[in-house]
């Protein structure tokens, strides 16, 4: 049966120029490349030197719009997944709209779902498109996590990086089958009983400060593999596709052992799993659109490919998206 699908028509990403390697970190805290590489798969990450989350989002968005052959005036909605906004309020999305000259009156907002932020944002935008409320959306995941990392804490500072990724999605009529291009299914989840396993220690109504990332690494690790697998399985089932039909698995880029753990649950070969954590680190809500844009730009992921996206983050939150490019 004919239906509306949200098709990805443009993608973009931006990484701040400064690169911090594991060797650089070993001069800052008691760590070494061997420990970080084997435990996390991370070799280097980018860190912003004064560029804000909105600044790097604008760069990623400009690339996505250029790629789509559109201008900002064609956009009906800007939604940003982030946990590192420029200000407590207004939203980063509103700021991006203002800087880029978005049409006055169009909706903009941020989604607070930590590392799942982009999957949440994409799901909301997809639903608005399928309801006919909007036609074209700019969906961004962007973080400057370096601002909320305690650079004296070796347990956390080796894990994170900064960056931004964006996609432009647009309404297109589909046949209602898994052969359609565009978003085929989405799922969102959360479990607030795990609030204290992963959080940022500050807040407006608590400490009145921004705070630093605090994490129970082992708890997060255990939960992440199951959550990413649950979301992946659900979107494949909802979309009516089997594991064998999927071209690419794109899990949240937190840690290579989590990524491989999810892959092994489905018996997926490593060459079908997109990995950028080695040179991005964990960029939270930016990790998926960064990896997606990089893979599309390099030609690794091609038109017609079927991609399973899954994310998991603080809250805990988790979710998945099945999309045919
Ligand atoms: N360098 C050297 N040693 C370190 C470092 C470091 N950077 N960090 C911790 N250690 C030490 C610890 O102090 C500990 O020493 P001790 O035994 O003397 O106390 C030792 O290494 C072992 O620490 P563990 O915590 O047991 O190491 P583990 O194998 O669990 O790996 C890690 C830690 C990488 C954080 C792991 O738990 C993990 O991957 N967790 C998932 C968390 C994650 O990816 N979070 C990202 C944010 S959440 C998200 O995006 C969903």
> Any catalytic annotation for residue 127?
no
Q: Specify the pLDDT at position 67.
A: 96
Catalytic annotation, pick one of 22, 115, 157, 280: 115
Distance, in Å, from the CA atom of 202 to the CA atom of 298, rounded to the nearest integer, reads: 39
> How far away, in angstroms, is 139 Cα from ligand 1 center?
32
Q: How far is the CA of 217 from the centre of ligand 1 (A)?
A: 6
Torsion of CA 140, 193, 153, 142, to 10 degrees: 0
Q: How far is the CA of 35 from the centre of ligand 1 (A)?
A: 9
DSSP state of 203: B
The two tokens of residue 314 are 């603080």
CB of 198 sitting under 6 A from ligand 1: yes
Q: What is the pLDDT of residue 21?
A: 98
Q: Strand 306-313's sheet: what is its strand order? A: 182-190, 317-324, 306-313, 248-251
3-state secondary structure of 101: coil
Does the annotation mark 157 as catalytic? no
Distance 46 CA to ligand 1 centre (A): 20
- Give me the pLDDT at residue 31, please: 98
What CA–CA distance (Å, rounded) separates 206 from 216?
21
Task: Tell me what pLDDT residue 167 has.
Answer: 98
Is the C-beta atom of 146 inside 6 A of ligand 1? no
Edge-first strand listing for the sheet containing 77-81: 3-14, 162-174, 136-144, 77-81, 108-111
252 among known catalytic residues: yes
The residue whose CA has the least distance to atom 47 of ligand 1 is 254
Look at strands 198-200 and 213-215 and give their pairing: antiparallel
Can you give the pLDDT of all 325 residues of the chain as single tens digits? 899 999 999 999 999 999 999 999 999 999 999 999 999 999 999 999 999 999 999 999 999 999 999 999 999 999 999 999 999 999 999 999 999 999 999 999 999 999 999 999 999 999 999 999 999 999 999 999 999 999 999 999 999 999 999 999 999 999 999 999 999 999 999 999 999 999 999 999 999 999 999 999 999 999 999 999 999 999 999 999 999 999 999 999 999 999 999 999 999 999 999 999 999 999 999 999 999 999 999 999 999 999 999 999 999 999 999 999 9
Residue 43, pLDDT score: 98
Chain centroid to CA 221: 18
Catalytic residue among 13, 46, 252, 280: 252
| pLDDT value at residue 90 | 98
Q: Establish whether residue 313 lines the binding site of ligand 1, counting it when its CB lies within 6 angstroms of any ligand atom.
A: yes
Q: How far is the CA of 228 from the centre of ligand 1 (A)?
A: 20
Picking from 238, 229, 252, the residue whose alpha carbon sits closest to that of residue 187 is: 238
Residue whose CA is closest, atom 10 of ligand 1? 155
Asked if 93 and 78 touch (Cβ cutoff 8 Å), the reply is yes
CB 171 within 8 A of CB 8: no
Nearest to 165 by CA among 106, 217, 104, 121: 121
pLDDT at 291: 98
Nearest to 107 by CA among 84, 85, 139: 139
Ligand 1 close to Cβ of residue 282 (< 6 A): yes
Q: Is 297 exposed, middle or buried (0-12, 13-18, 19+ CB in 10 A)?
A: middle
Q: Is the pTM of this model over 0.95?
A: yes
Kindly state the tokens that stand for 208.
């009145």
Q: Where are the alpha helices (DSSP H) in the chain?
A: 22-26, 33-40, 53-68, 92-100, 117-130, 154-157, 217-239, 256-266, 277-280, 287-297
């Amino acid at each position: 049966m004919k239906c509306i699908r949200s098709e990805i028509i443009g993608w973009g990403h931006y990484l701040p120029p400064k690169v911090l390697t594991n060797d650089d970190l070993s001069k800052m805290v008691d760590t070494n490349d061997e420990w970080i590489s084997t435990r996390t798969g991370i070799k280097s990450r980018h860190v912003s030197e004064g560029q804000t989350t909105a600044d790097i989002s604008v760069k990623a968005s400009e690339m996505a719009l250029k790629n789509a052959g559109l201008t900002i005036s064609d956009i009906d909605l800007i939604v940003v997944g982030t946990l590192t906004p420029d200000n407590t309020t207004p939203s980063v999305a509103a700021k991006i709209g203002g800087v880029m000259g978005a049409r006055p009156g169009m909706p903009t907002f941020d989604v607070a779902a930590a590392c799942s932020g982009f999957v949440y944002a994409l799901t909301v935008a997809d639903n608005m498109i399928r309801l006919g409320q909007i036609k074209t959306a700019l969906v961004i995941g962007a973080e400057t996590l370096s601002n909320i990392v305690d650079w004296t804490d070796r347990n956390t500072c080796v894990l994170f990086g900064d960056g931004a990724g964006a996609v432009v999605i647009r309404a297109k009529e589909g046949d209602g089958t898994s052969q359609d291009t565009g978003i085929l299914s989405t799922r969102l989840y959360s479990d607030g009983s795990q609030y204290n396993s992963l959080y940022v220690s500050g807040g407006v109504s608590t400490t009145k400060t921004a705070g630093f990332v605090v994490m129970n690494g082992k708890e997060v690790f255990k939960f992440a593999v199951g959550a990413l697998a649950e979301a992946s399985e659900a979107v494949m089932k909802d979309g009516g596709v089997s594991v064998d039909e999927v071209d690419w698995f794109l899990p949240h880029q937190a840690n290579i052992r989590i990524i491989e753990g999810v892959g092994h649950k489905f018996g997926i070969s490593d060459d079908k799993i997109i990995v950028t954590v080695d040179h991005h680190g964990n960029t939270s809500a930016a990790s998926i659109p960064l990896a997606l844009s990089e893979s599309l730009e390099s030609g690794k992921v091609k038109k017609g490919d079927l991609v399973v996206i899954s994310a998991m983050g603080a809250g805990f939150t988790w979710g998945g998206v099945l999309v045919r490019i």
